[in-house]
Amino acid sequence: MNASGAGLLPTAIVGSLPKPSWLSETEKLWGDWKLSGAELVEGKQDALRSAVLEQERRGIHIVSDGEQTRQHFVTTFIEHLSGVDFERRETVRIRDRYDASVPTVVGAVSREKPVFVEDARFLRSLTDRPIKWALPGPMTMIDTLADRHYGSREKLAWEFATILNEEARELEAAGVDLIQFDEPAFNVFFDDVRDWGVATLERAAEGLRAETAVHICYGYGIAANTEWKATLGSEWRQYEESFPLLQRSSIDIVSLESQHSHVPMDLIELVRGKKVMLGAIDVATDEVETPEEVAHTLRRVLHFVDAEKLIPSTNCGMAPLPRRVALEKMSALSAGAAIVRDELR
Ligand code: ZN
């Protein structure tokens, strides 16, 4: 199935949803689980069921897991690989911006067993709608760990690209329609993006029949990111670096941040021909957008992308938001897309 062929302006969430408070610490990014063992496995499945139900009843067309079964969009994947010591955590500066506690690469990395495939199969069993699964991109992976083995960001990125491709192929076989690679690092390390970033991303997506997306953003709504954004001036032109390269790449969909950002809309013309997943919901505020606000954003972007190629979405991960707010934001996204869909008829 062609995931974004779900009709005109199919909606999607980009990343996480808040987890239930009985499962995990809430309103934070790296919340600890409150259950363990078999209870944790069952709890994650119940949370996933609830996330699917809420997306469907709130009109989200391309359903995803809301990251209910993982703690972090990068480290949970890395922790499942051999060659990584996840008990040996180091605090490193990531995205050139803030310090985070991350696992350490201590030997050759490999994927001895699937990481998310069981969870994806379970998600597939819960809905008839197209499903999307997000994986970290190679560059963002190496920027979210401590490397004490390879000594080369590029070399390690190629290793991860191969591993990601194995996982992506199995996710596709499990029924995933759209595989999204999260590459927030593409908005930071421009030389690396040009030299090997896009090439390793294409390697990760090689040979897939599922649609492929790359999500590039300015980070979640945490203080370090909000403060960084305040230094970027009145026009955020970072996408200008990666978009021309992605336009020529094999990736089908480019996912970007828009609502309440200072990204000039006309930069979208740089990915002409690609599908665009546009973040029309701000995740850095508890204030819920009105449907008309969402519609306004979508009307503006339609000057730069064909309606057939637009996928209205949230900006990014909603994990730190109060649960009620995140759910209402999904409803606002759907209602805003519906307004514009009617206008296009
Ligand atoms: Zn993001």
Reference 186, options 174, 200, 168; nearest CA is 200
Any bridge partners for residue 62, and if so which? Answer: 12
Count how many Cα atoms sit within 13 Å of the Cα of residue 257 in the half-sphere of its side chain: 27
Average pLDDT over residues 109-113: 96
How far, in Å, from the CA of 218 to the mean position of ligand 1? 6
19, 27 in Cβ contact below 8 A?
Answer: no
How far, in Å, from the CA of 226 to the mean position of ligand 1? 13
Percent of the chain with pLDDT over 70: 98
How far, in Å, from the CA of 345 to the mean position of ligand 1? 31
Average pLDDT over residues 244-261: 96
Tell me what pLDDT residue 94 has: 92
- Lowest average pLDDT, out of 81-95, 191-205, 289-303, goes to 81-95
How far, in Å, from the CA of 73 to the mean position of ligand 1? 10
254, 203 in Cβ contact below 8 A?
Answer: no
How far, in Å, from the CA of 143 to the mean position of ligand 1? 14
Phi-psi region of 37 (alpha: psi -120 to 50; beta: other; left: phi over 0): left
How far, in Å, from the CA of 37 to the mean position of ligand 1? 30
Q: Answer yes or no: is pLDDT of 6 > 80.
A: no
Query: Three-state SS across 196-211?
Result: HHHHHHHHHCCCCCCE
Distance, CA of 299 to CA of 287 (rounded, Å): 21
Q: What is the pLDDT of residues 136-188, one digit of tens each?
A: 999 999 999 999 999 999 999 999 999 999 999 999 999 999 999 999 999 99
How far, in Å, from the CA of 107 to the mean position of ligand 1? 29
How far, in Å, from the CA of 127 to the mean position of ligand 1? 24
How far, in Å, from the CA of 120 to the mean position of ligand 1? 20
How far, in Å, from the CA of 221 to the mean position of ligand 1? 10
84, 105 in Cβ contact below 8 A?
Answer: yes
How far, in Å, from the CA of 174 to the mean position of ligand 1? 25
How far, in Å, from the CA of 38 to the mean position of ligand 1? 31
- State the Cα torsion 56-59-62-64 to the nearest 10°: -50
How far, in Å, from the CA of 187 to the mean position of ligand 1? 11
- State the Cα torsion 231-237-240-246 to the nearest 10°: 70
How far, in Å, from the CA of 214 to the mean position of ligand 1? 10
How far, in Å, from the CA of 306 to the mean position of ligand 1? 23
Distance, CA of 250 to CA of 267 (rounded, Å): 19
Tell me what pLDDT residue 222 has: 80
Give me the count of residues in the chain. Answer: 345
Distance, CA of 318 to CA of 104 (rounded, Å): 27
Average pLDDT over residues 275-296: 96
How far, in Å, from the CA of 56 to the mean position of ligand 1? 22
How far, in Å, from the CA of 182 to the mean position of ligand 1? 7
How far, in Å, from the CA of 206 to the mean position of ligand 1? 22
Q: What is the pLDDT of residues 13-41, one digit of tens each?
A: 999 999 999 999 998 778 899 999 999 99
Q: What is the CATH number of domain 3-344?
A: 3.20.20.210
Helices within 234-322 (DSSP H only):
239-247, 291-301
- pTM, entire model: 0.96
Tell me what pLDDT residue 5 has: 53
How far, in Å, from the CA of 216 to the mean position of ligand 1? 6
Q: Is the dihedral of CA 22, 25, 29, 30 positive or negative?
A: negative
For the chain, strand residue ranges (E) read 63-64, 82-94, 98-110, 131-136, 146-147, 178-182, 211-216, 253-257, 275-279, 310-313
Helices within 68-179 (DSSP H only):
75-79, 117-126, 138-142, 153-173
Any bridge partners for residue 12, and if so which? Answer: 62, 313
Q: What is the pLDDT of residues 183-237, one digit of tens each?
A: 999 999 999 999 999 999 999 999 999 999 999 999 877 888 888 998 998 999 9
How far, in Å, from the CA of 316 to the mean position of ligand 1? 4
Residue spans of the domains in the chain: they are 3-344
CB neighbours of 74 closer than 8 A, spacing ≥ 6? Answer: 136, 140, 141, 144, 145, 182
Average pLDDT over residues 307-336: 96
Q: Answer yes or no: is pLDDT of 11 > 60.
A: yes
What's the pLDDT band for 1 if we cut at 50, 70, 90? Answer: very low
Tell me what pLDDT residue 101 has: 87
